[in-house]
């Protein structure tokens, strides 16, 4: 169905005519300043030949009509689409600190860093969020809201895939990420509010302490599910004997557990890609609150076509006098 979003814009249609005929003293100036031209005396078999100026006036008027039509925001409304709504608001907070460069995960037999593994598994999780409102927080030294709560999960996934290590700083501000999630909650909503926080380190930056932020979250009805990322310690044989490697020496599991407990959530430990995928499968069943389906009508903006035609006519009006002289 075709519709006009702002029909009152059409009140501006007669504006050029009003200006043209309403200018004070226009007739006097025209009479005083008019200079005869040879074309005024050229006749055809049917009378006086049409003046190029008259065609320019008609083209100008058509360009103005198209411009007003574009400004009125013409739209095409598609067929109604039924969207199941589960009643969950999920915020995904992903750590982009420098420690996420550690390559202790594998995807299809290839060694990858922690962020790459998180992106792949989280992408599959996001695809299954149909009916949920999903948001994305990226944090390092600072916490940033990359995507507010939205049903547009494709955009959330795309922005997650475009994120890079160090984009938010090299340190880790867990408390600030939780505080930002609290600020962005819709407190008037009856939806279940959940924050899924993934990190491989400890809080080394920010203005808010993680446990203090967790207590505030519990008071606002926000449940926090924390995921500690990183492989277990292993023994490596070197020329100098055995050496113990611990990729997750900086992971503060104690604080992550406390954050989850204070807010009524759970703590998970992801040592490899398979375990991380299992955690996301468990998160699929977090407190779903079934709602009635909502109807959505996709809207396609059509203003581009009359705007392009208007600009094309305006360009013709500019080029025409030059072309005539040539």
Are 122 and 228 in a shared domain?
A: yes
Q: What is the pLDDT of residue 326?
A: 66
pLDDT of 180 above 90: yes
Average pLDDT for the chain: 79
Distance CA 116, CA 111 (A): 10
Are 276 and 301 in a shared domain?
A: no
Distance CA 30, CA 39 (A): 18
pLDDT of 147 above 80: yes
Are 191 and 280 in a shared domain?
A: yes
Which three-class secondary structure state does DSSP give residue 274? helix
Q: In sequence order, which residues have a C-beta less than 8 Å from that of residue 308 and are 6 or more positions away?
A: none
Are 123 and 62 in a shared domain?
A: no
Structure tokens that stand for 63 in this block: 């360009």
> 244 to each of 59, 200, 274, how far by Cα in Å?
81, 19, 24
Residues 132 and 196 sit within 8 Å (Cβ to Cβ) = no
Residue ranges of alpha helices (H) inside 220-326 are: 253-263, 273-283, 304-325
Structurally, the chain folds into a number of domains equal to 2
Are 166 and 280 in a shared domain?
A: yes
Are 61 and 104 in a shared domain?
A: no
Range of the domain at 228: 84-293
Distance CA 284, CA 164 (A): 26
Residue ranges of alpha helices (H) inside 128-173 are: 153-162
Are 130 and 272 in a shared domain?
A: yes
Are 179 and 117 in a shared domain?
A: yes
> 210 to each of 96, 206, 215, how far by Cα in Å?
17, 9, 9
pLDDT of 286 above 70: no
The CATH number given to whatever domain includes residue 220 is 3.40.50.410
Are 245 and 122 in a shared domain?
A: yes
Structure tokens that stand for 84 in this block: 């199941």
For the segment 218-266, what is each residue's pLDDT rounded down to a tens digit?
988 889 999 888 766 454 455 555 444 445 667 788 999 999 999 988 8
Are 140 and 61 in a shared domain?
A: no
Are 174 and 114 in a shared domain?
A: yes
pLDDT of 109 above 80: no
pTM, rounded to two decimals: 0.62
Are 31 and 152 in a shared domain?
A: no
């Amino acid at each position: 169905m075709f519709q006009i979003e702002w029909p009152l814009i059409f009140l501006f249609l007669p504006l050029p005519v009003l200006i043209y005929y309403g200018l004070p003293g226009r007739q006097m100036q025209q009479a005083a300043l008019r200079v005869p031209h040879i074309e005024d005396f050229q006749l055809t078999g049917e009378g006086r030949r049409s003046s190029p100026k008259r065609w320019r006036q008609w083209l100008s008027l058509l360009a103005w009509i198209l411009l007003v039509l574009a400004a009125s925001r013409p739209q095409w409304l598609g067929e109604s689409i039924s969207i199941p709504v589960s009643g969950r608001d999920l915020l995904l907070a992903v750590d982009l600190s420098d420690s996420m460069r550690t390559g202790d995960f594998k995807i299809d037999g290839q060694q990858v860093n922690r962020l790459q593994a998180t992106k792949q598994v989280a992408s599959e999780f996001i695809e299954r969020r149909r009916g949920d409102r999903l948001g994305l927080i990226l944090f390092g030294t600072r916490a940033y809201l990359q995507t507010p709560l939205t049903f547009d999960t494709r955009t959330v996934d795309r922005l997650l895939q475009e994120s890079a290590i160090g984009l938010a700083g090299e340190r880790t501000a867990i408390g600030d990420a939780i505080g930002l999630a609290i600020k962005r909650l819709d407190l008037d909503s009856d939806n279940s509010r959940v924050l899924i926080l993934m990190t491989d380190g400890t809080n080394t930056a920010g203005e808010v302490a993680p446990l203090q932020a967790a207590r505030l979250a519990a008071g606002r009805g926000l449940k926090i599910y924390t995921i500690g990322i990183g492989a277990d310690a292993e023994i490596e044989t070197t020329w100098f004997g055995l050496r113990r490697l611990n990729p997750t020496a900086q992971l503060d599991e104690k604080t992550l557990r406390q954050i989850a407990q204070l807010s009524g959530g759970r703590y998970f430990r992801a040592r490899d890609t398979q375990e991380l995928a299992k955690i996301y499968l468990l998160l699929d069943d977090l407190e779903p609150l079934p709602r009635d389906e909502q109807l959505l009508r996709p809207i396609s903006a059509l203003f581009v076509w009359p705007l392009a035609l208007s600009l094309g006519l305006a360009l013709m009006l500019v080029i025409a006098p030059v072309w005539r002289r040539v």
